[in-house]
Structure 1
Amino acid sequence: MGIFYESIGFNGWAICLFVLFSLMAFNEFGRSTKWGGIVLFIVLPILLTIFVWPTTAAPGNEYGTGTWFNWVKTYSALAGCIWFMGLRYLPKLVKKRWAICVPAIILAVNILEAAIRDFQCFSYGAWNGASVDNLWVMSGPWNIMNGIAGLLNIIAICGWAGIFISKNETKDMIWPDMIWPWIIAYDLWNFAYTYNCIADHSFYCGLVLLLSCTIPAFFIKRGAWLQHRAQTLALWIMFVMTIPQFADKIAPVATTHNKVAFFSASLISLIANIALVVYQFSKIRKNKFNVLKDEMYTDTNAYKEVVESNR
């Protein structure tokens, strides 16, 4: 795996593929049926909150799942899934302008949480690496670089006013203005965030998890990236909160702890998000867009194909 990860054997790749396809399969189950979504994102979390997580995600546990960040991330991801289901299955709700701006707010808050975490990891001063809250981190300029990239990614969120529900049986939440430039910039930022802040867990919660929502967004249900992202993120976090030893003992994939790897991931993330913001603001200036009302990419084939296939 080059400078980023230690070598992975056949069993490691087999587990990786199993996790990837499991996340995609459960995402499809939650996406394609109303009751599937209710069971996965409402009933199951309630049961786990009462009977499982107080033990497996207790504060100070050896796997790092008991931190404030993990708990907040779990319920914010679930809140997104539930809200998106509300938009999908309650026709009156999606007609309200305030209701369709909530997905953008949820997305921005989730990115902000992670950006703050990057800055927090820098504040630890673990310049040569250290275990903090039972998670290995290495502080450095990469935390600042990627924290800024996350803030830029928030600024680049656009076109939420164009969200609508698809006309097919699955009633997907479609955000046509969220096309590939933003998705790729987000993926690069999020991978760098996981690498910086939960380094030895980043192979699964970074690389594999991002693939589990990006593949469906490009090849299964285009235009529904945020729905895919919320559901796969919620599924993964629930799994980790339930079986916290997975990434440490069952199927570990360690990073190389190489400063060049940390710097490279965050530099690529920062460059991608700077380029995205510059390009987007050039479109805003040229076309005199109102960022609170207008969609930015209506002139692109990607946008047109998503709209045509879902309306």
Structure 2
Amino acid sequence: MGLLYTAGDMSYWAIWLFILFALMAFNELGRSKPWAGITLFGIVPLVLTIFVWPTTAAPGNEYGTGTWFNWVKTYSALAGCLGFMALRFVSWTGKDGQTHHLYEKKWALCFPPLILAINIAEAVLRDFQVFSFGLWEGGTVENLWTISGPWNIMNGIAGILNIITICGWLGIFVSRDKTRDMIWPDMIWPWIIAYDLWNFAYTYNCISDHSAYCGLALLLSCTIPTFFIKRGAWLQHRAQTLGLWIMFIMTVPQFADRIAPIPTTHNPTAFFIVSAVALAFNAGVAVYQLLQIKRRSLNPLHDEIYTHTRPYKAVVDENR
């Protein structure tokens, strides 16, 4: 891919494509069948935690999967998957004889933006940490090649803006169809693209030679379903595909380095460009939201911002 990647064998891109569709397929399985979701994001990781990951993701291993970041990311992603399933399916009969649902509770609706913000903040801290390493000519840290530069600061700021622009979570509801998806109508395409650009830049900056998979393929695996399979459920798609990928890479840590490597070009210009684009787009979303808040006298901690837009209305019409 020219400026961004170099792969010695084009068959690696065929494997990349397989990974993309496998993530989408298992996401659909976990989304459509509650028993599959519980198995994939509850039972399987429990077994792996006890019998597999202490070996394959041991601290200091040669593939870099034993870092604090990988372990924290794994369990925060799985917590998101299970938490969103609880929002979708937990219900009870109250003293009034009526059926009540967890997603009807405002305190429960604070969980999705909280777990999302935590995941973004983890990556922001990592970008700043890579800058602090002072690897201005590039080098290996925790068995992963990276290069420090202004792009780390730029993308860290983009991530902070991405957190600030999370909005409309009190409008989350569960779809009326049989899959009972967690729908967040105020999370429309500008924010999603801003997140994708920021997250891709983060993976390019901090996990450079793995970013074709954990950045490009992983982001497409949740963005494609959001636009073409189940609109309004981006965060659910994101949590499940992230959980699937990180469980796989914790189990088969040599995959991106030995089995099907797609390394970056290690070109500083590429690092600067991807982070500059991410920062510019996130700044644009932040400015747009600020203008909408002022113009329409909205409370960003309570009100939905995009209710006047066509994508918001389409998602509500399809699911409520």
Q: TM-score range by the shorter chain?
A: over 0.9
Q: Which residue of 1 aligns with 2:98?
A: none
1:249-302 CA distance string (max 9 Å, x none)? 000001000000000000000000000000000000000101121100111110
Identity %, equivalent residues: 69
Note the aligned Cα RMSD (angstroms).
0.7
Distance in 2, matches of 1:269 and 1:141, equals 13
Q: Give 2:25's aligned amino acid.
A: A
Distance in 2, matches of 1:163 and 1:101, equals 10
For residues 120-159 of structure 1, what are the structure 2 equivalents within 5 Å?
Answer: 120-159=129-168
Indicate if the aligned counterparts of 2:7 and 2:261 stay in contact, CA closer than 8 A: no
Q: Which residue of 2 aligns with 1:260?
A: 269
Counterpart of 1:62 in 2: which secondary structure?
coil
Counterpart of 2:86 in 1: which secondary structure?
helix
Q: Give 2:83's aligned amino acid.
A: W
* Deviant stretches of 4+, over 4 Å: none
Is the counterpart of residue 49 in structure 1 residue 58 in structure 2? no
Distance in 1, matches of 2:13 and 2:273, equals 24
Distance in 2, matches of 1:283 and 1:97, equals 24
1:110-148 CA distance string (max 9 Å, x none)? 000000000000000000111000011100000000000
Q: Structure 1 length normalisation: TM-score? A: 0.99
Distance in 1, matches of 2:35 and 2:109, equals 22
Q: Which residue of 2 aligns with 1:84?
A: 84
Q: Which residue of 2 aligns with 1:183?
A: 192
Distance in 2, matches of 1:198 and 1:18, equals 21
Q: Which residue of 2 aligns with 1:280?
A: 289
Q: Which residue of 1 aligns with 2:72?
A: 72
Distance in 1, matches of 2:171 and 2:291, equals 20
Q: Which residue of 2 aligns with 1:25?
A: 25
Q: Give 1:115's aligned amino acid.
A: V
Counterpart of 1:136 in 2: which secondary structure?
strand
Instruction: Work out which of the residue numbers 210, 231, 234 in structure 2 matches 1:201.
Output: 210
1:187-232 CA distance string (max 9 Å, x none)? 0000000000000000000000000000000000000000000000
Counterpart of 2:25 in 1: which secondary structure?
helix
For residues 199-238 of structure 1, what are the structure 2 equivalents within 5 Å?
Answer: 199-238=208-247
Q: Give 1:167's aligned amino acid.
A: R
Distance in 2, matches of 1:53 and 1:137, equals 24
How far is the alpha carbon of 1:7 from its aligned partner?
Answer: 4.0
Distance in 1, matches of 2:156 and 2:2, equals 24
Distance in 1, matches of 2:182 and 2:159, equals 24
Q: Give 1:87's aligned amino acid.
A: L
Counterpart of 1:65 in 2: which secondary structure?
coil
Q: Which residue of 1 aligns with 2:315?
A: 306
Q: Give 1:102's aligned amino acid.
A: F
Q: Give 1:138's aligned amino acid.
A: I
Indicate if the aligned counterparts of 2:113 and 2:166 stay in contact, CA closer than 8 A: yes
Query: Where in structure 2 are there 5+ consecutive unaligned residues?
Result: 92-100
Distance in 2, matches of 1:263 and 1:225, equals 28
Q: Which residue of 1 aligns with 2:108?
A: 99
Distance in 2, matches of 1:120 and 1:253, equals 24
Moved more, 162-171 or 85-94: 85-94
Distance in 1, matches of 2:8 and 2:39, equals 35
